[in-house]
Structures are given as structure tokens and as C-alpha cells.
Structure 1
Amino acid sequence: MALYRAQILLEPEQHRQLAEIAREQGRTLSEVMREIVRDYFERNRRQVGLQQAMQAIEALTRMRKRLQEQHGLLPADLLQEARDERLEDIERAWLDSSN
């Protein structure tokens, strides 16, 4: 993996904490910084994905509400009737195929 040299300015406390972590883990300060940057990018990527998912859910919720306002809700008994008919069709097909 090719590396790019970058110079960063840290606050004294940030440098102290990074150096302590590196020493405790037997790693270089650069290795610790690369891990921190990698973790940040991954967390940011997931956050963007979550935001996109939430926006899609909100759009679907608005669409559902608009459809309900325009057409009303499907009555529960009508929905159950459709389910019952579907189950009967499946049972009939299964019985016909076993004969």
C-alpha cells in the first residue's frame, strides 16, 4: 500500500493521548492516526447510508399518506378476504397436483 506523507498540527493534549495509545499498543503514531482516519471515513459512510434510508422512508410515508387521503384505507375485512381466497387457491392447487 502506497502511503502519502501529510503534516498535521495537533493540540498538545491530542498529541499526548495519541502518543499514549501508540505506546500502549506498540504501534507508531502514524498507524494510530491512519486507523482513526479509516474509522472516521467508515462511520461517515454508514451515516450517509442511514440518512439516505431515512429520507427514503420519509418519502414513502408521505406517499402512503397522500394515497390514503386520495383513496382511503383498504378495509381490514376486505384484506382478510383476499388472504383467505389466496389460501384457498393454494390449497386447491396443492390438492389438484397431488391427485
Structure 2
Amino acid sequence: MGPRSFYVYILASRIGGTLYIGVTNDLIRRVAEHKSKLIESFTEKYDVVRLVYFEEFDDPENAIGREKRLKKWNRAWKIRLIEENNPNWDDLYPGIGGSQI
């Protein structure tokens, strides 16, 4: 978690559930916002709050480009990407320094 890092992340409602792909420069804060459900949004409506995958980038252009490419992937590819790195679809949020919400 570098000082000028950018992140592409995938949230899931549950194992094999609804997926959400986003980009941020503050992964802990952004996932906390999703988990708190204070903002009416897709993630709030479908309970998509489990951080199951993320990538770190040094600049926003690469992060945004990766987010756009991932959003175009078919569902099977996204699931394979998650399961290659996180086979149990564990919530990675506590492991990056996020508190339980």
C-alpha cells in the first residue's frame, strides 16, 4: 500500500454471487464506504461488500485502463481471476488493514 497507489478491486456479494469492479486511490476507505452502505448504490442494493480481489498500480491511467478491460471480460474469466488468487472468496478487507464493519 504505497503513498501514491491506485487500485482496481472486485467486490462480491458471496461466493459465485454478484460482482462489482471499481478503481480507487484509497482501497481501505473505498471498501469501507461500500461496507457501510451509507450511499445508495449498486453495491448497497445487491449487498456486494466482500473484497475478493485487487491489484495495485503506480499511476491512475494504468489502473483505469485495467478496470475498463476487466469490466469487458465475461463472467467466467472474472471468476477464474478471483479463484486463482482467492479460491475461497475470502474477504480480503481485514488483511489490508480494514476494520470489521
Which one scores higher on RCO, CA 8 angstroms, separation ≥ 6?
Answer: 2
- What is the TM-score when the length of structure 2 is the normalising length? 0.19
Highest CA radius of gyration, 1 or 2?
1
- Is the helix fraction higher in 1 or 2? 1
Q: Which has the higher strand share?
A: 2
